[in-house]
Amino acid sequence: MFARHPSMIRAARLALALAAAGLTPLAARAGGPEVEVEAAVDALTRAILEADRSALNDLVLDGLSYGHSSGAVQDKAAFVEALASGRSRFPSISLSNRTASVVGDAAIVRHVFDGETVANGKSAPVHIGVLQVWHREAGRWRLLARQAFKL
């Protein structure tokens, strides 16, 4: 039986994210850090869809500021708990018009977020713009800030 070492789990998650994006690790290196950031965005999207507490905790920094288009702002604990508990869930998410730019250990990602949200038992469509700020820490990208806005 194999031990579940955190670095091996992170590497496996990155490999899965790259594979889902149709990339190999070599292609990711050839594409530069922007491709790595986009793989992290994809991993975060999957973690939100799956309400995966462990993945959400791994993908966001402790100082997270997560802004919603309603004006509500959550810290890391509130963001993770809302999704992991099922109070808020997303049956579907689609990201389009994505851009990623990297400056040193920071990355700015923009996209249009379309999907469906279910909160307090009520389903609603979502069509918003999103700005994310990612930070590279110990060789991996983690979300530092996110702000959604109405389109």
CATH, residue 21: 3.10.450.50
Q: Whole-angstrom Cα distance, residue 16 to residue 76?
A: 24
Q: Whole-angstrom Cα distance, residue 114 to residue 83?
A: 17
Q: Is residue 39 part of a domain?
A: yes
Give the distance, in angstroms, between the CA of residue 55 and the centroid of all CA atoms in the same chain.
9
pLDDT band at 23 (very low <50, low <70, confident <90, very high): very low
pLDDT for the residue numbered 8:
43
Residues 93/115, Cβ–Cβ less than 8 Å: yes
Residues 146/74, Cβ–Cβ less than 8 Å: no
Mean of per-residue pLDDT scores for the chain? 86
What residues make up the domain containing 27?
Answer: 6-150
The SS3 call for residue 3 is coil
Q: Residues 51-89: pLDDT tens digits?
A: 999 999 999 999 999 999 999 999 999 999 999 999 999
Predicted TM-score of the model (pTM):
0.79
Domain count, the chain: 1
